[in-house]
């Protein structure tokens, strides 16, 4: 069995949380062979520098040195380390600060077995295939530069760029978007709701209908052709969703707007 065994560092000032994480996950299936614990960011940094781990799970709120400060120092010492922050703070400011530092993911308290397993698997996948999202990461790095960092518009710009590229992909999903951004689906789902006041699914449908409206007015494409070009394979589903979102059928919309333009 020649698989590489990963080193994990768990950083939390609460012994019960550390013990809980260790008991939640079958580390053998993830090829995690060495697990070290630290009680705060200061302790963690010392252990990190002595015996560098591949993956870190660290609480944000700790005495002596918080999780963000530790992550910043750890990433400077070893940029390739993968870090997920454990946090009860579902606040936007932390997300922005963490992205700037280079934190890879989040686990929201109370932690569950599926959350920990999903995040650890994602971090290991990142280690295995660090080049998978290089193009998107380049865009992220450009958009999340010093001058631009600090507004919700920055996140929206990044998300919109990916949506524009994938709008014709009928398979496009929240999971694909979260993979592209390097977050867990659960975390991105909450962040999306906070940014747009609606779910990812509803927002994607609205975006698709906006594009359909434009195509109805600027092309002579048939409904099934428009549907396919916005990632919907069933023309009846397209017509029904269009009517629900816009308030009239594609044909009625096209006729009404063109009549108004002719006046």
Do 27 and 121 fall within a single domain?
A: yes
Looking at the chain, the whole-number percentage of residues with pLDDT higher than 90 is 36
CA 23 to CA 67: how far, in whole Å?
Answer: 22
**Share in percent of the chain as helix, strand, coil (round to 5):** 60, 10, 30
Single residue among 81, 100, 128 that ends a domain in this structure? 128
Handedness of CA 156, 166, 102, 64 (dihedral sign): positive
Single residue among 197, 220, 242 that ends a domain in this structure? 197
Residue 243 CB contacts under 8 Å (≥ 6 apart), including other chains: 249
> Residue 99: inside a domain, yes or no?
yes
> Residue 177: inside a domain, yes or no?
yes
Six token digits for residue 92: 């936007």
Half-sphere exposure of 249 toward its Cβ, with a 13 Å CA cutoff?
A: 8
Structure-token match 């080193």, residue found: 7
At residue 3 the predicted structure's pLDDT band, cuts being 50, 70 and 90, is low
Do 122 and 81 fall within a single domain?
A: yes
> Residue 24: inside a domain, yes or no?
yes
> Residue 166: inside a domain, yes or no?
yes
CB count within 10 Å of CB 246 equals 17
Distance of CA 133 to CAs 74, 107, 126, 211, 248, Å? 22, 21, 9, 26, 40
At 141 the pLDDT is: 54
Distance of CA 43 to CAs 13, 34, 72, 76, 172, Å? 10, 17, 15, 17, 42
Q: Which residue has the higher pLDDT, 191 or 123?
A: 123
Region of 123 please: left (phi>0), alpha (psi -120 to 50) or beta: alpha
CB count within 10 Å of CB 54 equals 20
Handedness of CA 52, 56, 62, 68 (dihedral sign): positive
CB count within 10 Å of CB 199 equals 13
Six token digits for residue 184: 């867990």
> Residue 1: inside a domain, yes or no?
no
pLDDT at 150 over 70: no
Does the global pTM surpass 0.75?
Answer: no
Helix axes 200-218, 250-262, angle to 10 degrees: 50
Residues 7-20: tens digit of each pLDDT: 999 999 999 889 98
Do 11 and 121 fall within a single domain?
A: yes
Do 120 and 24 fall within a single domain?
A: yes
Do 15 and 122 fall within a single domain?
A: yes
Do 256 and 182 fall within a single domain?
A: no
Do 235 and 140 fall within a single domain?
A: no
What CATH number is attached to the domain comprising 65?
Answer: 3.40.50.2300
CA 122 to CA 117: how far, in whole Å?
Answer: 8
| Number of domains composing the chain | 3
Do 121 and 20 fall within a single domain?
A: yes
Residues 177-222: tens digit of each pLDDT: 888 777 778 888 888 888 889 999 999 999 999 999 989 988 888 9
Do 113 and 143 fall within a single domain?
A: no
CA 198 to CA 190: how far, in whole Å?
Answer: 10
Single residue among 112, 128, 144 that ends a domain in this structure? 128
Using an 8 Å Cβ cutoff, are 193 and 174 in contact?
A: no
Do 120 and 17 fall within a single domain?
A: yes
Do 53 and 141 fall within a single domain?
A: no
Do 35 and 104 fall within a single domain?
A: yes
pLDDT at 105 over 80: yes
> Residue 156: inside a domain, yes or no?
yes
Domain carrying residue 48: 6-128
What CATH number is attached to the domain comprising 181?
Answer: 1.10.10
CA 15 to CA 22: how far, in whole Å?
Answer: 11
At 142 the pLDDT is: 55
Residues 28-79: tens digit of each pLDDT: 899 998 999 999 999 999 999 998 898 999 998 888 888 889 999 998 888 8
> Residue 150: inside a domain, yes or no?
yes
Question: What strand order describes the sheet that includes 6-11?
Answer: 32-38, 6-11, 55-59, 82-87, 105-108
Question: 24 phi and psi, to 5 degrees?
Answer: -75, -30
Residues 154-164: tens digit of each pLDDT: 778 888 888 88
């Amino acid at each position: 069995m020649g698989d590489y065994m990963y080193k994990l560092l768990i950083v939390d000032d609460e012994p019960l949380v550390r013990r809980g994480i260790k008991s939640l996950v079958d580390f053998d299936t993830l090829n995690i062979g060495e697990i070290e614990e630290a009680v705060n960011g200061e302790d963690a940094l010392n252990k990190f520098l002595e015996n560098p781990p591949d993956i870190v799970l660290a609480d944000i709120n700790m005495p002596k040195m918080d999780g963000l400060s530790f992550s910043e120092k750890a990433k400077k010492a070893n940029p390739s380390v993968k870090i997920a922050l454990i946090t009860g703070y579902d606040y936007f400011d932390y997300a922005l600060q963490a992205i700037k530092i280079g934190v890879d993911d989040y686990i929201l308290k109370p932690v569950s077995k599926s959350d920990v397993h999903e995040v650890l698997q994602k971090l290991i996948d990142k280690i295995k295939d660090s080049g998978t999202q290089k193009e998107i990461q380049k865009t992220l790095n450009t958009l999340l530069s010093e001058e631009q960092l600090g507004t919700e518009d920055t996140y929206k710009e990044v998300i919109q760029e990916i949506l524009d590229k994938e709008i014709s992909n009928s398979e496009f999903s929240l999971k694909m978007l979260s993979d592209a951004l390097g977050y867990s689906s659960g975390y991105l789902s909450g962040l999306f709701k906070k940014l747009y006041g609606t779910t990812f699914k509803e927002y994607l449908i609205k975006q698709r209908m906006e594009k359909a409206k434009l195509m109805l007015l600027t092309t002579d494409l048939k409904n099934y052709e428009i549907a396919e070009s916005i990632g919907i394979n069933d023309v009846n589903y397209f017509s029904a969703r269009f009517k629900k979102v816009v308030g009239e059928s594609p044909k009625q919309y096209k006729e009404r707007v063109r009549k108004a333009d002719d006046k």
